[in-house]
Structure 1
């Protein structure tokens, strides 16, 4: 529904830098147009993706993108009721990564 309105772009895959297993899922790209931010659309879209793709997840954020870090930690914390882990970096990724299982 939201994609038809041109509000967001998402690409998720199984490319993982901190593989929990061979089926670890990852958000490769996630973009909400600025004028549609802060309206719950990003949270709703992320939740729908997580609900459709059960398993181990890792969500990486750019080290300098503090808005993305706040968004993902808030969304994932609410989604998993606080049951997630976070690392500040890995050898192949210089930025925060959140790991969880749904």
Structure 2
């Protein structure tokens, strides 16, 4: 299986908006967001549009053998510009548990060297397991975890360096 991190362009906004609905569907198990009368999740579209308007925001399709397998939205963390933040990360169900997520994170780290963080909802056991295992593997356990508030929601924060990840993973 080949993996590619493909930078999105303005022409990809519509595709990302469609994929974001699937991401919100997955997250609704934990956030209990209601569905609109039109059958869509309502959200502030500026969350997505910022990735096409701000220089420190980087949207990527995660591609597997030429097919969209998900997305990675990488940015400078708005509360600490020294941190690179995985804003949102999503892998379509048919691509899960194939090593694609780990390969996509490694590709993100190669493109954006520095100090990183990933934020995870504490109740999202699947994401907690994925991120902990993936970051532990890539960094040879050189990371630390904390809990805190992010925009009114308690989150688990996993902090690590791309340098430790790229040195350990090769």
Give your verdict on TM over 0.5.
Answer: yes
**Equivalent position of 1:97 in the other structure:** 157
Decide which structure has greater strand share: 2
CA distance in structure 1 between the partners assigned to 2:161 and 2:110 by the alignment? 11
Decide which structure has greater helix share: 2
Q: 1:28 aligns with which of 83, 87, 109?
A: 87
Q: Which has the higher contact order (CA 8 A, sep 6+)?
A: 1
Q: Compute the TM-score of the two structures, normalised by the length of structure 2.
A: 0.54
- Asked whether the 8 Å contact 1:16–1:58 carries over to 2, the reply is no
For structure 2, the 5+ residue unaligned runs are 5-61, 163-170
CA RMSD of aligned residues (A): 1.5
Aligned pair in 2 of structure 1 residues 86, 6: CA closer, same or farther (>3 Å)? same
For structure 1, the 5+ residue unaligned runs are none
Structure of higher CA gyration radius: 2
Over 4 Å off, 4+ runs: none
Q: Compute the TM-score of the two structures, normalised by the length of structure 1.
A: 0.86
Does residue 82 of structure 1 match 2:131?
A: no
